[in-house]
Chains A and B, each alone.
Chain A
Amino acid sequence: MRLTEEQIAQIRQTVCEEAGSQSRVWLFGSRVDDTARGGDVDLLVEQDTDIDQPVSLMARLTVRISRAMGGRKVDIVLSAPNLREMPIHASARREGIRL
């Protein structure tokens, strides 16, 4: 996994503040691969309760985490009971690393 301890702590902290302490977060995509270089930061954020305004939550998470990582491109995928389950959710859980 190509994230520093500090970056992981910042991601966890931001997700906790924006999505609540019950939410879980996975890193997936090219950042999981130790041999790759650079690349976007793909995150799956999952929670057990409905999300009222998911797009605004995604936007807030994207902006804050991207800023904390020096402007790196960040892509957030949300999973919640009121959101449709997509193949990307399953593959993120399967191949990703829980932060």
Chain B
Amino acid sequence: MPVPAGKGYGCDPRSPAVVSGPGVTRRQAGYLRQSDARLFHAPFTAERVARLDADIGLAEQTETFSSRFSRLQDMLGHKFLPALLTALSEPPAPFVDHLDRAERLGWIRSSEAWLHMRAIRNQMVHPYMEDPLLLSDALNAAHAFVPDLLTTAESLVREVERRFGTEERFKEQHAPHADPKITVRKD
């Protein structure tokens, strides 16, 4: 089922099953790579930020980069990672514990770096971002994290492929209470 851009499934515990996985991750990673290459052919200076009001094309590219960066990061950290850990029979845990686990498994560079990247994402979309210097600095900081984000995306996708083979098999495993011993088939 297609998911509207930027919309989540709220409190539905099955949301990871719907909106994360290798397919959507590879697509979103590809979109971010494109936006990143297009926007950062040159460093994002405060002068370029000053042009945003007049240059609609540049404003749209900036907006697109910012939302693709945020969306991929949110999807990986809050959906794909918990879904993968559930599929590997890990008990539910707070976000930071998931990050620590992902660090030990080599899927992310470090918990610290991930949290840092998330803080940059929050700054980039912050309502007080009216200072051109802060906005250009946030965009450049996010740009510097793009390789990290794409590497994590690839690590999680490879892990799913290695352990489960297909996306369908993975989704069966990380649905809540996916234990075949207790799942009642309805078909």
Contact = CB atoms under 8 A, between A and B. Distances in A.
Interface string B120-157: 10111000101111100110010000000000000000
Nearest to A53: B137
A1 to B, nearest CB: 23
Interface string B63-96: 0000000000000000000000000000000101
A69 interface: no
A55 interface: yes
B128 A58 contact: no
Contact of B131 (A56, A63, A83): A83
Nearest to A78: B134
Contacts of B37: none
B119 interface: yes
Given A60-B116, A83-B133, A83-B134, A71 B141 contact: no
The prevalent SS among residues of A at the interface is: helix
A55 B123 contact: yes
22 contacts: A54-B133, A54-B134, A54-B137, A55-B124, A55-B134, A55-B137, A55-B138, A56-B116, A56-B120, A56-B137, A56-B141, A58-B119, A58-B123, A59-B120, A60-B116, A62-B122, A63-B112, A63-B115, A66-B115, A86-B130, A86-B131, A88-B128
